[in-house]
Amino acid sequence: MRLWLAAMLLYGLIAQGAYAQAPASAQTETGTTLSWTGQKKTFRMPASERANIADNPSWTAPQKPFRIYGNTWSVGPHGLGVFLVTAPTGHVLIDGGVPGEARLIEANIRNLGIHLRDIKWILNSHAHADHAGGIAQLAHDTGAQVIANVADTPLLERGGHDDPEYGDRFPFPPVHVARTVTDGERLHLGNLVLTAHATPGHTRGNTTWTWISCEGTRCLHMVDVGSLSVPGFTLIGNPKYPGVIKDFEHSFAVVAALPCDIPLAPHPGMVNFWARVAKRKQGDVSALIDPMGCRAYAKDARESFKAQLAKQRAEAASAR
Ligand SMILES: [Zn+2]
């Protein structure tokens, strides 16, 4: 209990520290209120969400930014995949961490010598608070346009409220989506091309982003694999998402079939990211390359999904 209290207090301090220049940040008994310069909207974080973030300390744990490969950089906290893809015509940021922690990502980007204002687009993997929570702040501070899958756009714009699985438990500052994309759409920014692969299920607009990064003449397929997990999801008879089972089955097949040299993910553990980074540090220069990584993740995720589905089917049968 004491540990829990300490974690909550620590989180409060971090949240306030992160918003040191935004004086409207305040902690109340039931939630943390965030507001940011130039934006009149305020966001009040409910206790359910503060507890969730406190339960996942890696989501807010600082992590030094570094080059993954070519023009692809890791700029997130230790426990979340936040990626910057750079190009002379402007940069692209993928995902924005949890609410109240955008400054950590911004500091990482600045530490690479990159100007926030040179970020042209912010993409989203899916509209959950641990990946979209900081996007409103990041869009404000960079001036970048937010681009998201058309099927996740309503959830982004209502700040995560009325999520088909989470309801109102994990909201985030609402995101204005400047441009929507659909399955297979390619985004061109100079020579940089990013492709949106719809991998629905975890959310309706869950997206796997792919692009190519080069070092010299060696160009590799980079894949930010969309989450295919079912954490406590209602898969049978969910009136808010009747097609969820079919969508997941589609997405496992899509991810398994992608050309995939360096698998990345919104949650590093999905693709053993840190284990591979550690191997590289020990001298294995190709340790981040794992052409079977996307397929392996899809297979594991499908097995978890099948187990959860079987359990829910058995429960539904015994309740009849
Ligand atoms: Zn999620």
Q: From ligand 1's centre to the CA of 202, what distance in Å?
A: 6
Q: From ligand 1's centre to the CA of 227, what distance in Å?
A: 6
CB 47 within 8 A of CB 12: no
Residue 101 neighbours by CB under 8 Å, 6+ apart: 14, 15, 18, 59, 60, 77, 133, 134
Q: From ligand 1's centre to the CA of 218, what distance in Å?
A: 33
What's the CA gap between 182 and 150, in Å, rounded? 6
Residue 123's pLDDT is: 98
Q: From ligand 1's centre to the CA of 70, what distance in Å?
A: 28
Mean pLDDT of the chain, nearest integer: 90
pLDDT 10s digits, 155-185? 999 999 999 999 999 999 999 999 999 999 9
pLDDT 10s digits, 208-253? 999 999 999 999 999 999 999 999 999 999 999 999 999 999 999 9
Residue 10 has pLDDT above 60, yes or no: no
Of residues 66, 81, 75, 70, the one with CA closest to residue 107: 75
Q: From ligand 1's centre to the CA of 67, what distance in Å?
A: 25
Question: How many helices and strands in the chain, by DSSP H and E?
Answer: 9, 15
Q: From ligand 1's centre to the CA of 317, what distance in Å?
A: 28
Neighbours of 231 (CB within 10 A): 11
Q: From ligand 1's centre to the CA of 204, what distance in Å?
A: 11
Superfamily of the domain at 63-319: Ribonuclease Z/Hydroxyacylglutathione hydrolase-like (3.60.15.10)
Q: From ligand 1's centre to the CA of 284, what distance in Å?
A: 32
pLDDT 10s digits, 249-268? 999 999 999 999 999 999 99
CB 48 within 8 A of CB 168: no
Q: From ligand 1's centre to the CA of 215, what distance in Å?
A: 32
The pair of structure tokens assigned to 137 is 């702040």
- Helix or strand run (H / E) with residue 189: strand 186-189
CA distances from 9 to 14, 62, 102 (A): 9, 18, 19
Q: From ligand 1's centre to the CA of 259, what distance in Å?
A: 23
Q: From ligand 1's centre to the CA of 190, what distance in Å?
A: 31
Q: From ligand 1's centre to the CA of 127, what distance in Å?
A: 7
More confident residue, 30 or 200: 200
Q: From ligand 1's centre to the CA of 312, what distance in Å?
A: 20
Residue 1's pLDDT is: 40
Q: From ligand 1's centre to the CA of 128, what distance in Å?
A: 5
Q: From ligand 1's centre to the CA of 72, what distance in Å?
A: 23
What's the CA gap between 264 and 81, in Å, rounded? 7
Sign of torsion over alpha carbons 89, 86, 215, 260: negative
pLDDT 10s digits, 96-137? 999 999 999 999 999 999 999 999 999 999 999 999 999 999
Q: From ligand 1's centre to the CA of 113, what distance in Å?
A: 30
Residue 42's pLDDT is: 82
Residues with Cβ within 5 Å of ion ligand 1? 128, 227
Q: From ligand 1's centre to the CA of 320, what distance in Å?
A: 31
Residue 7's pLDDT is: 44
Residue 31's pLDDT is: 59
Q: Where are the domains of the chain?
A: 1-55, 63-319
Residue 21's pLDDT is: 32
Q: From ligand 1's centre to the CA of 214, what distance in Å?
A: 30
CB 33 within 8 A of CB 43: yes
The pair of structure tokens assigned to 87 is 């190009």
CB 197 within 8 A of CB 155: no
CB 171 within 8 A of CB 43: yes
Q: From ligand 1's centre to the CA of 130, what distance in Å?
A: 7
Residue 6's pLDDT is: 45
pLDDT 10s digits, 35-69? 655 556 788 899 999 999 999 999 999 999 999 99
Residue 36's pLDDT is: 59
Q: Which residue has the tokens 């929570």?
A: 133
Residue 25's pLDDT is: 43
